[in-house]
């Protein structure tokens, strides 16, 4: 066999090996668990060298999709269409996927709701190519999140929800491994060092009660196991009627200190915990990030 033929065969074998290794790596991070009160309608495999992902409001100009921040990325993964059960709603489904994404340390790069997202028919027919997503401009939601797994592979998850004219509600979820070296708008290497937030609602004053599940306790413990990690508690409080700002900030600070003591009992040393008192002065659009709460973020070295 000629040297040329041998080298061609060798390159083919290497290419096959790289593909196999890539497929193995992509299996490391599973897609978010489906919303329990929904049924799977369709699954589509996605493999593209230029998959369109939007990171800002979308508009259509002369039949072309426009967005201030958008990218065509080399990706491989799948898209799934779910129909939400009649005894639930798409807002509950969206909240579920937000919790799932935060549980794995994903960062939400962009999120919109209603007419701000753009025209629904463009999302359905041109962006996702799923006619069953045709619905109302005012009753749609979209988010895109990214997380980096232990092997350095970056994963994008896109979630789109809509209410159709017949009041049936659907969720479209894309879970995609991004090719090495592809630039993701709004995400850099340092973002992969931040895990969370884990949102912990609190109540009380002199004593505090925290809605911190056993799963979240274990998750925070696992995240904080790595040497040199820092656990940041951002303490929020809702401004009550006729309450002063100072009083609201003090309530938040006390809650942060109380949660720090709870985390110490789980094995996280106090010198690795930093408390930042936010109180009511920062508003977050996400519905599960409102009111009296502490948001816990773990920062890796």
Calculate the CA dihedral of residues 299, 206, 216, 233 and round it to 10 degrees: -10
Residue 265's SS3 state is helix
Dihedral sign from CA coordinates of 23, 29, 31, 36: positive
> What length is written for the chain?
301
Q: What is the pLDDT along the chain (301 residues), one digit of tens a residue?
A: 444 444 444 343 433 333 333 443 344 588 899 999 999 999 999 999 999 999 988 887 777 888 889 999 999 999 999 999 999 999 999 999 998 998 887 888 899 999 999 999 999 999 999 999 999 999 999 999 998 887 778 999 999 999 998 999 999 999 999 998 888 887 765 555 777 788 999 999 889 999 998 888 888 888 888 778 899 999 999 999 989 999 999 999 999 999 999 999 988 999 999 999 999 998 876 777 889 999 998 887 7
Domain match, 76 and 40 both: yes
Domain coverage including residue 257 = 190-299
Task: Give the domain CATH number at 279.
Answer: 3.30.1330.60
The one-character DSSP state at 244 is -
Q: Same domain, yes or no, for 171 and 225?
A: no
- pLDDT of 191 reads 56
- Flag whether 210 is in a domain: yes
Overall number of domains in the chain: 2
CA distances from 40 to 47, 77, 172, 198 (A): 20, 17, 10, 28
Q: pTM of the predicted model, to two decimals? A: 0.63
Report the candidate in 140, 93, 133, 95 with the shortest Cα–Cα distance to residue 116. Answer: 140
90-103 and 214-224 are packed helices; what angle lies between their axes, rounded to 10 degrees?
A: 30
């Amino acid at each position: 066999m000629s040297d040329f033929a041998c080298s061609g065969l060798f390159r083919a074998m290497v290419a096959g090996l790289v593909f196999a290794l890539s497929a193995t790596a992509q299996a490391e991070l599973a897609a978010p668990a489906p919303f329990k009160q929904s049924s799977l309608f369709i699954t589509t495999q996605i493999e593209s060298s230029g998959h369109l992902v939007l990171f800002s409001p979308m508009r259509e100009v002369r039949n072309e999709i426009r967005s201030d921040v958008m990218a065509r990325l080399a990706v491989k993964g799948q898209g799934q269409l779910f129909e939400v059960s009649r005894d639930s709603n798409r807002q509950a489904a969206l909240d579920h996927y937000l919790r799932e994404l935060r549980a794995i340390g994903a960062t939400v790069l962009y999120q919109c709701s209603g007419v701000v997202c753009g025209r629904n028919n463009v999302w359905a027919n041109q962006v996702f190519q799923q006619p069953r997503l045709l619905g109302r401009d005012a009753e749609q939601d979209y988010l895109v999140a990214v997380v980096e797994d232990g092997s350095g592979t970056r994963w994008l998850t896109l979630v789109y929800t809509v209410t159709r004219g017949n009041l049936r509600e659907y969720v479209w979820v894309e879970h995609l491994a991004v090719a090495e070296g592809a630039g993701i708008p709004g995400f850099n290497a340092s973002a992969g060092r931040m895990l969370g937030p884990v949102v912990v609602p609190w109540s009380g004053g002199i004593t505090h009660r925290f809605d911190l599940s056993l799963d979240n306790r274990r998750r925070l413990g696992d995240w904080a196991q790595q040497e040199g990690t820092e656990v940041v508690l951002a303490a929020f409080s809702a401004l009550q009627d006729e309450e002063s700002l100072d009083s609201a900030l003090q309530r938040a600070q006390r809650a942060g200190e109380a949660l720090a003591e709870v985390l110490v009992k789980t094995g996280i040393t106090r010198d690795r915990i930093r408390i930042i008192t936010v109180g009511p002065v920062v508003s977050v659009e996400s519905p599960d990030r409102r009111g009296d709460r502490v948001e816990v973020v773990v920062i890796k070295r």
